[in-house]
Amino acid sequence: MELFRDKRYRHLFSAQVIALIGTGLTTVGLALLASELAGNRAGEVLGAALAIKMIAYVVIAPVVGAYATRLPRRALLVALDLMRALVVVSLPFVTAVWQVYVLIFLLNTFSAGFTPVFQATIPDIFEDEHRYTKALSMSRLAYDLENLLSPLSAAMLLAVMSFNALFVLNAAAFMLSALLVVSVSLPSSQVPPKVVGGVWARLSQGVVLYLRTPRLRGLLALNVAVASAGAMQIVNTVVYVRHVLGEGETSVAIAFAAAGSGSMLIALLLPRLLKRLNQRAVMLAGGMLMSASLFGGLLSPGFHGLLLLWLVLGAGSSMVMTPSGRLLKQSCQADERPTLFAAQFSLSHACWLIGYPLAGWLGASQGMTVAFAVLGVMALVSTLAAMQLWPAH
């Protein structure tokens, strides 16, 4: 592919894939660590850790975005990778739940710094929109591959080693990612725009720019739809498959893979689709597909029906998320990209911070039918709001 002829992108994409697979191993290892420390309270520990992760993303990303243009990109990305490696390699030594919470907050603090800076670098490598759209699709594919490959890799590794080794492998992945980043020269950050005011003005600049832009207000509403659908799928798949349908662990993995497959399919097709179709129409259609998938859950589907619903849900999610970087690039000057990408990172994860606990509480206390209904209504209302907030013209 033409994208990989550019050494900078080739190394950055490889760094992203390696770091994501390593992070996926830690996700599995963390579940097993929580089980070892908390026993039957493992779900409670994991839920709290996930909430801490989202809080770190929401709070830290705007801070990094505000000052990212004043720091050398390559040095910042390498330093954050090394700090992530240091935190992950500490996980095998924890002896109490509170230590897990502290390390998860630190790990995701550094990730909240790394991801928006990484995302804001790609449009500086590919200035033309067609190649940048392809790069966004490749980035989405990397996330989907991680969702499919990491659990399978972890299962094979756990057959021959303890779960603590997964943390060590993740640390090695972060270090390899740092080596790949340091091996190329990255485009310099643009001269930062002048900000009138003090620290708060600098921190809020990206969010203010985001909320002033009609198409990005629409994107924020669609982020709510993605979080509503994604939280239902991520949090309640294991409950629905194991306890409602009575299927085994393999079926849980297949159900997760169905959503990833739908997302991958769209990520592969989207560069061609966006040549022919308006991106607003594609993204709004994605919101409608996610809503339809959730309402389909009201029919109490069997296992194969659930696979179809999750395939559609994954496709709809990718139709919204894959073009979002293109939308951000179109909505700002080059010198505003770091703060705007940081604002998207923070605001989108704020939506997940609402979606995750809501999906868990609804599923546990009200039942799957109510969870499907409430989150389906949220996804539909958010998509309809996006239509109003993002005018066609």
d(CA 146, CA 209) in angstroms, rounded, equals 32
Of 12-21, 45-54, 85-94, 300-309, the least confident: 45-54
Is the domain of 226 the same as that of 160?
Answer: no
Q: What's the whole-number mean pLDDT along residues 76-94?
A: 92
Write out the two tokens for 297.
């859950």
> How many structural domains compose the chain?
2
Residues recorded for the chain:
393
The structure's pTM equals 0.76
Same domain, 133 and 268: no
% of residues, the chain, pLDDT over 70: 86
CA distance 45 to 26: 15
The terminus-to-terminus CA distance of the chain in angstroms comes to 34
Amino acid identity for residue 293 in this structure = S
Residues contacting 277, CB < 8 A, separation 6+: none
2: how many CB neighbours lie within 10 A of its CB? 9
Q: Is residue 33 part of a domain?
A: yes
Q: How far apart are CA 242 and CA 249, in angstroms?
A: 7
**Mean predicted confidence (pLDDT) in 362-389:** 94
Average pLDDT over residues 311-322: 93
Residue 213 tokens read as 């832009």
**Tell me, what's the pLDDT at 196?**
46
Using one digit for the tens of pLDDT, what is the confidence trace for 106-116?
Answer: 888 888 788 77
Each residue's pLDDT tens digit, 133-150: 778 777 767 776 666 666
Given this model, what pLDDT does residue 308 score? Answer: 97
**Contact between residue 56 and residue 76 where contact means Cβ atoms under 8 Å apart:** no
Residue 362 is classified by DSSP as: I
What pLDDT sits at residue 41?
62
| Sequence-separated (6 or more) residues with CB below 8 Å from residue 298 | 369, 372, 373, 376
Residue 266 falls within a domain, yes or no? yes
Domain CATH for 220? 1.20.1250.20
**Angle in degrees, CA 163, 111, 113, rounded to 5:** 165
> Do residue 120 and residue 233 come from a single domain?
no
Q: Has residue 194 been placed in a domain? A: no
Q: In which domain, by residue range, is 122 found?
A: 1-182
156 shares its domain with 210: no
Query: In the chain, how long is the greatest CA-to-CA distance?
Result: 60
Q: Are residues 129 and 278 in the same domain?
A: no
On whether residue 195 sits in a domain, the answer given is no
Query: Tens digits of per-residue pLDDT, 225-282?
Result: 999 999 898 878 878 888 889 887 677 768 877 888 888 888 888 888 888 888 999 9
Tens of pLDDT, residue by residue over 344-360, are 878 888 898 888 888 88
The per-residue pLDDT of the chain, averaged, comes to 83
List C-alpha distances in Å: 211 to 41, 182, 287, 341, 344.
Answer: 40, 35, 20, 13, 10
Q: Are residues 71 and 7 in the same domain?
A: yes
Give per-residue pLDDT as tens, 194-225: 544 444 555 577 788 888 889 999 999 999 99
DSSP of 256-299, one letter per residue? HHHHHHHHHHHHHHHHHHHHHS-HHHHHHHHHHHHHHHHHHGGG
Hey, what amino acid is at 239? V
Least confident of 59-68, 112-121, 148-157, 191-200: 191-200
Question: What is the pLDDT at residue 270?
Answer: 84
Position 281 scores a pLDDT of: 94
Q: Say if residue 176 is in the same domain as residue 241.
A: no
Same domain, yes or no: 212 and 171: no
**Residue 209 located in a structural domain:** yes
Residue showing tokens 């550019």: 6
**155 within a domain of the structure (yes/no):** yes
pLDDT of residue 297: 96
Among residues 182, 217, 251, which one ends one of the domains? 182
Number of H helices, E strands in the chain: 14, 0
Domain assignment of residue 386, yes or no = yes
Is the same domain home to 30 and 157? yes
The verdict on residue 53 lying in a domain is yes
Single out the residue of 182, 167, 185 nearest to residue 84, CA to CA: 167
Choice between 372 and 235, residue whose per-residue pLDDT is larger:
372
Signed CA dihedral, 127, 129, 134, 140: sign only: positive
Is the pLDDT at 128 greater than 90, yes or no? no
In a shared domain, residues 212 and 258: yes
Confidence of residue 176 (pLDDT cuts 50, 70, 90): very high
Amino acid 281 reads: A
Residues 99 and 217 in one domain: no
C-alpha span between 261 and 263 (Å, rounded): 5
Given a cut of 60, whether residue 43 has pLDDT beyond it is no
Q: Are 62 and 206 in contact (CB under 8 A)?
A: yes
Highest-confidence range of 16-25, 265-274, 293-302, by mean pLDDT?
Answer: 293-302
Q: How far is CA 111 from the centre of its chain?
A: 11
Using alpha carbons, list the distances in angstroms from residue 330 to 131, 176, 197, 277, 335.
Answer: 14, 33, 26, 17, 13
Determine what percent of the chain is predicted with pLDDT higher than 90.
30
